[in-house]
Structure formats: C-alpha cells, structure tokens
A = this chain, B = another copy of it.
C-alpha cells in the first residue's frame, strides 16, 4: 500500500469524474478505472444515434481531462470482482488493485425486465457503441425500404417503434420523425421517407412521467406535430425480428428501439448489501454502503430517497453532486473532521428535448415549452459539454443542422468489415 491512502474510483461518468476532480488537492492517490477511455456526455448520446453529431463530439479521453491532476492515475480496464472485506478489486487483465476507499460509480444499463430475448431486436442506448449501432440500424432501414420490391416488406422497413416515453424515448422519436420528414427529403427514388411511421410506445398514462402533467401534455402535442404517433397506456407484450405486439395486436416494424428501463451495474452486488429492484445499492445518507464504511456509491448505481420521499433521480446533475459529496466525506474522514451533513440533492430543474425547436423545461416555478425551451436546452447542453473544441464543433454542427435540416453524421459504419473494395 502506498504512503498516501488510495482512493479507487470505478467509472468515469459524471459521478466518478466529479469525485476525482473534487479530490484534486486531497492527500490521496486516486486510481480511476473505466472500461472505456473516455468520459461520455450521455445527455447528447441520442444525437450520435440520430446522426446529428459524431461520436468524438460528445466524448473526451479521461486521461486528457485529468492530465494535469497529478494525484490521479487513469486505468482503462474492466472490473471483474470486488473484494469488499479484503479492500481489493480484480481487473480483467488479472491484476488486482488494493484500496483504502472505493467509490463505485459504474452506472446503469438498459434492462428488458426479464425479456432478455428482446435485446437483439430492440437495442438500447447507453454507450457510444450503442449509438453507432443504432445509427446504422436506423439509416439501413431506409436503404432496405428503398430496395424492397414487396409493398408489405417496404412498409415494415418504414415502420419504427420506440419503446419507452422517458426523455431518451421522446428525443429519439422526435428526431427520427424529423429525419424521415425533412432530412431524407428528395434522396430516395422508390420510397417517400416522410411516409415512415414513427411510433412512441409508453406503457404508462403519459410521456415524460417525471415532469408536471401540463408539460407532459405539451410534449405529446409537440411530438405529434413533428409526426410521431404516441401510444399510451398499453405495454409492449412481445418483440421479434418482424415487429412488436401491443396488447393483442401485432404491428410489423423492422426497427424497434428500447428506451424503457434501466438496471444498475452488477458491481453493486456485494455480500450483505441491500439492493433495490433495479439492482441499485441502497446507500446510507452519506452514500456509504451499509456494512462497508470505506465503500461509497454515487450516480445511477445509488438508490437514495430525498427528504420528501422521492428518489434522487438518475440524471447528470445528481451524479455530479453525489461524486463531489463523496469526495467531501473522504476528505473529512482523512482530516479527522466531523462528517458533512447527509447528502441532499439540489434540484435545479428538469429539461427534455423533443426535436426540432421543441422541448420542455421545468424549473419549478418557471415552466415553458416549444422554441424558447429548445433554445434553453441547447445552450445548457453546449455549456455543460466538456472541452472547448467539442463545444465549438457541436455548435457548428447544430447551426448547420438547424438551417439545412441536414445531419452531418449520416454515415453507415461497420456495415460488413470485409476487406474487399467498395463495390
């Protein structure tokens, strides 16, 4: 063990990265472990999936972000096991890493609620690779429709369903409708992309359920204006390669996207640790893991109730606040000071974008939607993007997309990795 206590942080998302930064001047040695090499600005992931932005526009190498913070070592590795009692984690490459403090911030992934066979037909959206896979799938559907000679097959390729009416589902549905109606205009000879059916399927009574009722209704109206068909109140009961079943009705659709549920990273499963239904760790008020005073959980992997009983939401601001809070707890403990008061989530508001010039904003007292909400959303997101270069490129791409209805990243990648020439 090194002279300085070692803090191992698992996950370079908002929680992990903000914790590492908040420990910059602390007398610790930090190892930040992530499976990828980059921090991802997840709120814009749907833009990569819908070909508005390139993958590197919304990601930055963790090493680069943290290069001047000399007490951090970034390790690109997959964690395979946590020995909570022995204070060690095991990595895929066979190495083990001892810790004095551990912060688990490995996030969440999409969940199929026991219907794992749906995963192959209805991919979800959590990583950059997911986004590129989804982009390929969406763009290829129009290509297949153009090449189809059978009208029923053509219709099935032009039928899209997004399952789940939360922020991701709403963003995907709105943007996909825009692509079909505007972006692809004039480009096909055998099909009219604008005839594509884009359906948002939500099992509950309204879209954007975490927003006030009035904003949900406005979001639905804006979606419908963009050309999205919103289906409420009936869950999807089956998904296969040819379509999905809604209630008792089978709907042909070659492209189904899953935006309906998340499950926490499996790393939270430690002996004796209480998990909620989604696999999140039920942390103590100081974000510690019951029974393991040196292990903390932050971000989407943590389950914690606010003072009013509602759960802390799985959003970027909450993850950042949790990451910073854990750093504060560790600093206090090392300094022999009293621990900070229990973690309290400061809710600055809630935004969701819907599509071209459509969004909803809930700042508590101030609620608005439509074009002003869209501008507000855009400015907030560009402002929070990591890295100066990325902000400029993203702004430029958006400005271009706005005026031209075009989407600059409409390139199908990974379509047959056969080394023969393009034919």
| A interface residues, Cβ below 8 angstroms from B | 10-13, 33-38, 40, 51, 54-57, 59-61, 63-64, 67-68, 73-79, 93, 95, 106-110, 119, 124, 126-130, 132-133, 139, 143, 146-147, 149, 184-190, 264-267, 300, 389-390, 392-393, 396-397, 400, 404, 406, 408-417, 419-423
Please, which residues of chain B bring their CB within 8 A of the CB of A67? 185-187
- What's the nearest-Cβ distance from chain B to residue A29, in Å? 10
* Contact between chains at B36 and A419 (CB < 8 Å): no
Q: Which residue of B lies closest to A104 (CB)?
A: B423
Cα–Cα distance between A392 and B417 once the two chains are bound (Å): 30
* Contact between chains at A421 and B147 (CB < 8 Å): no
* Contact between chains at B77 and A412 (CB < 8 Å): no
* Contact between chains at B266 and A420 (CB < 8 Å): yes
* Contact between chains at A411 and B56 (CB < 8 Å): yes
Cα–Cα distance between A224 and B369 once the two chains are bound (Å): 59
* Contact between chains at B10 and A423 (CB < 8 Å): yes
* Contact between chains at A413 and B147 (CB < 8 Å): no
Given that A37-B139, A37-B143, A67-B186 are contacting pairs, would A265 and B421 also be in contact in the complex, using a CB cutoff of 8 Å? yes
Cα–Cα distance between A234 and B139 once the two chains are bound (Å): 46
- What's the nearest-Cβ distance from chain B to residue A76, in Å? 5
Please, which residues of chain B bring their CB within 8 A of the CB of A36? 412, 415, 422
Cα–Cα distance between A400 and B54 once the two chains are bound (Å): 17
Please, which residues of chain B bring their CB within 8 A of the CB of A189? 73
Please, which residues of chain B bring their CB within 8 A of the CB of A420? 109, 265-266
Please, which residues of chain B bring their CB within 8 A of the CB of A37? 139, 143, 410-412, 415
- What's the nearest-Cβ distance from chain B to residue A252, in Å? 19
Cα–Cα distance between A42 and B19 once the two chains are bound (Å): 42
